[in-house]
């Protein structure tokens, strides 16, 4: 029973890539991102003061955490540049977004870096943090890339980001819009 549980998601991911050349291209970028994005640096992006403000909401000032969001510029810029370069590997507009877990129960997550086209199937506009979606929990638990199609016409591939000890520090979302493959129309 256990082997069936593990093999079914892998088979479904392979099937999704086979059905969509765009998903295959996004998956390849996600595979590369999983290796190129430095989890140690990603963990240093948000400052401790900013994390404290986010984890201790003030009822009198509901937007204080958003107003006090701050980053360590060196870590932020290094990671942002890496994500922008990764997005250039896509042959059509895509974004490579960085998601980091938030220390909370139940598990929460925040998008630390969103990119040029602001494409994401997971980010509700304006949210500083949110409950961790099931797909992200799966990537965190299993350390495997998964293809997600929640929004019609859009595909995202979620992939783990590792630190120097090999632990999963966060994840990337490579998001793009489906478009017909020009090679499919050639007769």
The 8-class DSSP code of residue 1 comes to -
Q: Band the pLDDT of 39: cuts 50, 70, 90.
A: very high
- C-beta of residue 158 within 8 angstroms of C-beta of residue 30: yes
The percent of residues above 90 in pLDDT, for the chain, comes to 57
Structural fold of domain 2-180: Beta-Lactamase (3.30.450)
Query: What pLDDT score does 20 carry?
Result: 67
Tokens of 65: 């955490």
Which of 88-102, 112-126, 173-187 has the highest mean predicted lDDT (pLDDT)? 88-102
Per the omega criterion (within 30 degrees of 0), is the bond before 106 cis? yes
> What are the residue boundaries of the structural domains of the chain, listed by start?
2-180
Put residue 153 in one of left, alpha, beta given phi > 0 → left and psi -120 to 50 → alpha: left
At 45 the three-state DSSP class reads coil
The predicted structure's pLDDT at residue 58 = 74
The gap between the terminal CA atoms of the chain, to the nearest Å, is 44
- Cut 0.85: pTM above it: no
Helix (H), strand (E) at residue 23:
helix 21-36
Dihedrals φ, ψ of 171, to 5°? -155, 160
Residues 6+ apart with CB under 8 A from 138: 9, 144, 146
pLDDT on residue 79: 97
Top mean-pLDDT range of 85-89, 91-95, 111-115, 149-153: 85-89
pLDDT band at 104 (very low <50, low <70, confident <90, very high): confident
- Residue 87 has, within 13 A of its CA and on its CB side, a CA count of 25
Check: CB of residue 165 under 8 Å from CB of residue 141. Answer: no
């Amino acid at each position: 029973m256990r082997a069936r549980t593990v093999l079914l998601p892998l088979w479904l991911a392979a099937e999704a890539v086979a059905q969509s050349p765009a998903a295959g291209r996004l998956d390849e970028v996600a595979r590369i991102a999983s290796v190129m994005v430095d989890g140690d640096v990603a963990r240093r992006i948000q400052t401790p003061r900013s994390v404290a403000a986010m984890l201790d909401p003030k009822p009198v000032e509901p937007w204080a955490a958003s107003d006090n969001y701050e980053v360590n510029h060196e870590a932020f810029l290094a990671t942002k540049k890496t994500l922008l370069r990764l997005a250039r590997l896509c042959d059509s507009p895509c974004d490579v977004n960085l998601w980091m877990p938030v220390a909370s129960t139940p598990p929460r997550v925040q998008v630390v870096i969103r990119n040029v086209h602001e494409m994401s199937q997971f980010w509700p506009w304006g949210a500083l943090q949110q409950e961790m979606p099931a797909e992200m929990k799966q990537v965190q638990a299993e350390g495997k890339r998964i293809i997600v199609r929640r929004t019609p016409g859009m595909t995202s591939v979620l992939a783990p980001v590792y630190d120097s000890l090999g632990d999963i520090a966060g994840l990337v979302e490579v998001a793009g819009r489906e478009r017909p493959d020009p090679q499919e129309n050639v007769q």
